């Protein structure tokens, strides 16, 4: 990121004098202060349950409807969380006048069609990451939302968390000096089961879209648009990507070293190393996490420890509510053009690996 002389002096003062170093406090607004909206949930699975729990515990948002292709499943979810509307079709959720915004929590393969129907119904939309199967679908959604005049955002929850705002401020202040290297990984061990959604090509499975999107999005946030992307990886037994290692370069020449895998539980940490100092984000870096500022001499200068570690999905919902109340159709923290840029990178990585999904 470009630095002014003032930022350089600020960085020298704070990094060279360990006794005085204090990481900036997050500027993230209290999620409870966000204007309350009526939310409809599409696809009541595990991530939907975590989302609703976070809203109930940490916001004033109201979940008013849930839809599933299985009416009994929708009713069970509604009963569990005290949701007044339970529907056996997604169309019924979109037809509910109490619903201001729809949260799409289905597998990646369903995002495009479900989000498009919601946009066409005039609803605001929050779409789980990865946004769609590919950039072509993402571009169509963005165009539709802009034409319809509704809010649309990728639910890349990491971008809205307080510790990531600390990271942004550190970069803006130039405390690390010139950024040279970014690292991030996200790997989980998954039993090789063809019925599991992450191994299912028809559900747009694989490590990259579900897990690897976190390291790629993080590197994009830090480095900006990539000047180059180099990929090494292999396919799982079903033909989806099983493990991927990626080296990217930013326009400044900085490198990003990223990894994702379905074969092992990795540290899921991230770091940003500069000419003056480095930031280390503990695992899981994409969730509320401790951030440490380390000097060139490997001395711990200071740390940021999150006050809240549970319910982090509340921050993305609060951001959406604030934007909608202000009449904004996208978020400055996760702009639609940034989502499109990341989707194009993911497309290129899959091309390199020879991974395609049915119907692409």
Catalytically annotated residues: 129
Q: Please give the Cα distance from 174 to 269 (Å, whole number).
A: 22
Q: Are 296 and 38 in contact (CB under 8 A)?
A: no
Coil, helix or strand for 88? coil
What 3-state DSSP class applies to 360?
Answer: coil
Report d(CA 265, CA 280) in Å as an integer. 19
Q: In degrees, to the nearest 5, what angle opens at C-alpha 168 toward C-alphas 166 and 173?
A: 95
**Cβ neighbours around 245 below 10 Å, total:** 16
For tokens 């639609």, name the residue.
336
Q: Kindly report the number of other CB atoms within 10 A of residue 257's CB atom.
A: 16
Contact status, residue 151 vs residue 145, Cβ threshold 8 Å: yes
Q: Which residues of 61-98 are buried (b: 16+ CB within 10 A; e: fewer)?
A: bbbbbbbbeeeebbbebbeebebebbbeebebbbebee
**Alpha-carbon distance 183 to 267, whole Å?**
12
Coil, strand or helix at 30: coil
């Amino acid at each position: 990121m470009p630095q002014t002389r003032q930022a350089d002096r600020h960085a020298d003062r704070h990094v060279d004098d360990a006794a005085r170093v204090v990481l900036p406090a997050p500027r993230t607004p209290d999620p409870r202060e966000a204007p309350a909206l009526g939310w409809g949930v599409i696809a009541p699975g595990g991530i939907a349950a975590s989302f609703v729990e976070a809203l109930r515990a940490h916001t004033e948002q109201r979940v008013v409807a849930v839809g599933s292709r299985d009416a009994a499943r929708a009713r069970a979810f509604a009963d569990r969380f005290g949701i007044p509307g339970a529907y056996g079709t997604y169309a019924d959720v979109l037809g509910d006048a109490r619903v201001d915004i729809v949260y799409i929590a289905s597998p990646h393969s369903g995002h495009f069609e479900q989000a498009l129907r919601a946009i066409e119904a005039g609803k605001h939309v929050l779409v789980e990451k990865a946004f769609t199967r590919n950039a072509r679908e993402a571009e169509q959604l963005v165009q539709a939302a802009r034409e319809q005049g509704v809010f649309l955002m990728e639910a890349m929850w990491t971008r809205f968390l307080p510790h990531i705002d600390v990271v942004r401020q550190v970069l803006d202040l130039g405390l690390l000096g010139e950024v040279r290297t970014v690292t991030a990984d996200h790997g989980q061990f998954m039993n090789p089961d063809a019925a599991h959604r992450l191994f299912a090509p028809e559900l747009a499975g694989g490590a990259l879209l579900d897990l690897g999107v976190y390291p790629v999005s993080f590197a994009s946030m830090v480095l900006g648009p990539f000047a180059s992307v180099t990929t090494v990886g292999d396919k799982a037994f079903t033909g989806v990507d099983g493990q991927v290692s990626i080296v990217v370069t930013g326009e400044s020449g900085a490198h990003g070293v990223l990894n994702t895998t379905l074969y092992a539980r990795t540290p899921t940490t991230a770091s940003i190393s500069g000419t003056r100092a480095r930031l280390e984000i503990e695992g899981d870096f994409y969730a509320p996490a401790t951030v440490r500022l380390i000097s060139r001499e490997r001395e711990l200068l200071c740390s940021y420890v999150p006050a809240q570690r549970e319910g982090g999905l509340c921050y993305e919902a609060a951001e959406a509510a604030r934007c909608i109340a202000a009449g904004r159709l996208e978020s400055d923290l996760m702009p639609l053009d940034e989502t499109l840029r990341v989707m194009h990178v993911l497309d290129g990585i899959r091309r390199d690996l020879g991974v395609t999904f049915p119907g692409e």
